[in-house]
Structure 1
Amino acid sequence: MESQTVPLQIGTPRTSSAKTGDVHSDPEKVSPLASAPAITFPEGGLRGWLTVLGGALVLMCTFGNVQSFGVYQDYYTRVHLKNHPPSEISWIGSLQIFFLFFLGIPAGKLFDDGHFHLSLISGSIILSVSSFMLSLAKPFQYYQCFLAQGVGMGIGMGLMFLPAISVSSHYFRARRSLVMGLILAGASLSAVIHPILLNNIFKRKDGFAKGVRYASIMDLGFLVIANSIMRTRLPVRKNKMSPLRVVREVIMRDGPYLTHVAGTALIFWGLFVPFFYFQLFTALHGIPSGLVTYSISIMNVASIFGRTLPNLLSDRYGVFNVYIPFGLISALLVFALLGSSNVAGVVLFGIFYGSVYRYWASLISLHHRGEDLMSLSIRMRVGVTCTALAFTCLTGNPIAGALLSPPHYTWWRPLLFATIVLLSGVVLLAIARAGLSRRRGTQRV
């Protein structure tokens, strides 16, 4: 299957009228971003699908690890770093997420300048070395885990994450939603495998070192395969506007987009709290150890199947019209965890929250769904969004840990915090939706 397409002109107006400060209504302001020769997308082929497979493998080693941090949070809190409170421990995982998002712009710049493989290889080496160094971390040595897992692994993940997702756009346009779903499924699959592997090995003598080492070997194998099969296809594009000028003259004047960023950042402030603390919650509430072992995996199994429904509905009803209700459901589920102190409650929460939380991946770029992702304007918007998310992801889980107030563990405080910020984010998304609806002249947004 082969189709020939020309990159969309971002913000091409639906009417001839121009509004002051609305960059979407004046093509003269944005035409330099979109002027480019026609590009053909093969929509498949061996090289294209191998690149998709490579992207999924990279996400297994990056976001899959992030989604599995709840295992470390529980083990560190009760065993390996039990001399440190949960809030301090959560800084390790939060720093991973911070670097994963914060390095999106520099890693994206390397990708734009034709240095995709440099970014991927560098990230693979840093991640692998740091992961093996983590296996050498001694009990009660917080700084060793912080440097190896938080800083080292986080930087390695950040160098690979965005380029691994972006390179598939060299091969696919019409199938881009399907491809993105397949790549993101790699993170969910890894977040099922890693918790099971780590929880079962951590129980043994010297289990921490062995478990981390086995996971590191598995990830190293995935990264070697990914580096071997992923290829770029399109030439380096020369942009007529500098990235800073795009941010200043295009992005910062777009009210609905900025509101969308603020709402998404608030949602990410509380979104990962269940993933960091769910296993610890189950362990401290007397849930059988067999179920505790699989608690994180239950959520991530549900997320594999759950991410398809929002995409199907959003294609029909509009992305904001679907993701706003999903955000509301997520907030209510987090608060409902307070009553999930038995086996049935834990299983149901894991299934339902895992099924709906996956909308996070689409929140980053839902403001631009259907537009040309090769455009500098759109790439910079995604980069700005990721930068904003980095700071809320860095602080959300430590705040929740501090609110736990160990050793008594007052669970309603962190769960209420997560619920409030999720609901606040949903409100801002609703405001952004209203502005975008007026701009486009339709309720299907």
Structure 2
Amino acid sequence: MSNISVSENEASSSEPENKNSPAVIEESPELQRASSSTVPPDVPSDEPPDAPDGGWPAWSQVVSAHIANMISWGYGTGFSVFQLYYKQTMNLPAVQVSWIGSVQIFLCFLVGVASGRLSDGGHSRQLYATGAIICIFGMFMTSLTNTYWQILLAQGFCQGIGAGLVFMPASASVAVYFKKNRSFAIAASGCGSSSGAILYPAIVQFLMPSVGFPWAVRICGFISIALAIVGFCLLKPRELHRVPAPYLDLKAFKSLPYSLFTAGSFLVYFSLFTILIYINSFAREILGLGDVKSVEFVLVTNAIAIVARPIFGFLADKFLGPVETFGLNCIALGVMAFGWIGVHERIAMYVYSAFVGFVNGGAQGLFTSAISSFVPDVRKMGTWIGMTLGLCGFATLAGPPTMGAIVDANGGKYLWAQVWAGSTIIIGGTMVLISSRLVLRDSAKPSAI
């Protein structure tokens, strides 16, 4: 968010400056660079002017959030390896197996609503510790499972609840430590989801032949213990003036730009994770590649995403703004979903995985930063972000099973599932871009500051 500075003598007679308006107002450079990421000027902003925006205290929060994203989103995004393993060993249909990953990601989003509000209330460290413990407990319980419902409880419910508790406090902490470089910082911390989506699937896939599936998952748990300790020690939430706030701030939805952005994000996330979850199965079942080769595409996608996230974060901070950069990446991802239809051989799959990783990394890496651009009061950062994440959680719950049902209904063919994914993402991305235009429209209206 950007500040608008107006002298006291001019405040009563000035109107907001806009590209299409002759009225004059002094704007900060940040507002000129990223006007699409600001809230309308008639909404008061209580954001502290002294955000560190750098230095070890601020960047250490990025490291802590990076680790939290590894344990939460990284493990969940890497579900494609588990998807293929469960489908092959338990002879279950794709739609049934997909529910495990969907529940995990859904709860991560939904629990973020409560943990976001609690982190605003000063309970970030308690949430981080509790969430990490539940996540790790879920990993070890997954290693002991033998039936579908046991896997659903351990990896779906337990892991999802823990993930929702651990990632939100860390992400909100990063947002309030940065202002000018917020998009870059959040994108860098978000790289943790890609780091985790490389680490955990690689461990499971490459160690499973030698130590077996249970011990491969336990090794994931032991590594997570070490990571969680480091992340917890680094987490130092800013001491801000706390004000009583509800778990839901329904007044937020009176803002048309915020509401439209949330609706568009819902459509994007309905199909975003389906690409990441099914890319492994597609390589195995349609292209006829082995298990080891299939997982390589997952690793390529997430490795490229690590590079893409800070790049798009920099572009958002310096040139386009987080909302427009997020929206453009979503549309590009939708186009890539349609491009998936033309993949018929291994080399094409490698190229496709790289491009998907690049645009998907930009989209996911900027999501939290884009939401924060609509928040007028930094003390409600976790609440507003949590509400959008909670609604998007319902999309991730229904998305992968829907794609699995489409694949199963078409005899294992992916064509109409790919069309569905591309259509929903492009429509959602377009709505996100429109929300940024509405902010500019509202900024052009004369209002008292």
Mapping for residues 14-413 of structure 1, pairs under 5 Å: 15=15, 27=42, 31=44, 34-35=45-46, 40-79=50-89, 81-82=90-91, 84-138=92-146, 141-204=147-210, 207-239=212-244, 242=246, 244=248, 246-248=249-251, 251-284=252-285, 285-314=287-316, 315-358=318-361, 359-366=363-370, 368-369=372-373, 374-376=378-380, 378-405=381-408, 408-413=411-416
CA distance in 2 between partners of 1:117 and 1:97 (Å): 22
Contact 1:98 1:393 in 2 (8 A): yes
Contact 1:185 1:304 in 2 (8 A): yes
CA distance in 2 between partners of 1:401 and 1:353 (Å): 20
Superposed CA RMSD: 2.9
Cα offset for 1:320?
Answer: 4.4
Cα offset for 1:16?
Answer: 7.3
Contact 1:373 1:379 in 2 (8 A): no
Q: Percent identity?
A: 24
Q: How many residues align?
A: 415
The two structures have a TM-score, normalised by structure 2, of 0.84
CA distance in 1 between partners of 2:40 and 2:60 (Å): 39
Contact 1:365 1:382 in 2 (8 A): no
For the structure 1 residues 303 and 42, does the alpha-carbon distance in structure 2 shift closer, same or farther, using more than 3 Å as the test?
same
Cα offset for 1:261?
Answer: 0.9
Contact 1:7 1:374 in 2 (8 A): no
CA distance in 2 between partners of 1:212 and 1:407 (Å): 33
Deviations 1:354-398 (A, max 9, x none): 00012133234425439666242x543322211110100110000
CA distance in 1 between partners of 2:16 and 2:162 (Å): 47
Cα offset for 1:291?
Answer: 2.3
Deviations 1:200-221 (A, max 9, x none): 12234x6110111111111111
CA distance in 2 between partners of 1:110 and 1:58 (Å): 17
Task: Please give the secondary structure, in 2, of the residue aligned with 1:161.
Answer: helix
Deviations 1:205-245 (A, max 9, x none): x6110111111111111112212222223145125x6565x
Cα offset for 1:57?
Answer: 1.2
More contact order relative to length (CA 8 Å, sep ≥ 6)? 2
CA distance in 1 between partners of 2:352 and 2:280 (Å): 12
The two structures have a TM-score, normalised by structure 1, of 0.85
For the structure 1 residues 347 and 49, does the alpha-carbon distance in structure 2 shift closer, same or farther, using more than 3 Å as the test?
same
Range with bigger deviation, 177-186 or 316-325: 316-325
Contact 1:195 1:294 in 2 (8 A): no
Structure 1: stretches of 5+ with no match in the other structure: 18-23
For the structure 1 residues 313 and 50, does the alpha-carbon distance in structure 2 shift closer, same or farther, using more than 3 Å as the test?
closer
Range with bigger deviation, 338-347 or 296-305: 338-347
Range with bigger deviation, 284-293 or 148-157: 284-293
Task: Please give the secondary structure, in 2, of the residue aligned with 1:41.
Answer: coil
For the structure 1 residues 35 and 261, does the alpha-carbon distance in structure 2 shift closer, same or farther, using more than 3 Å as the test?
closer
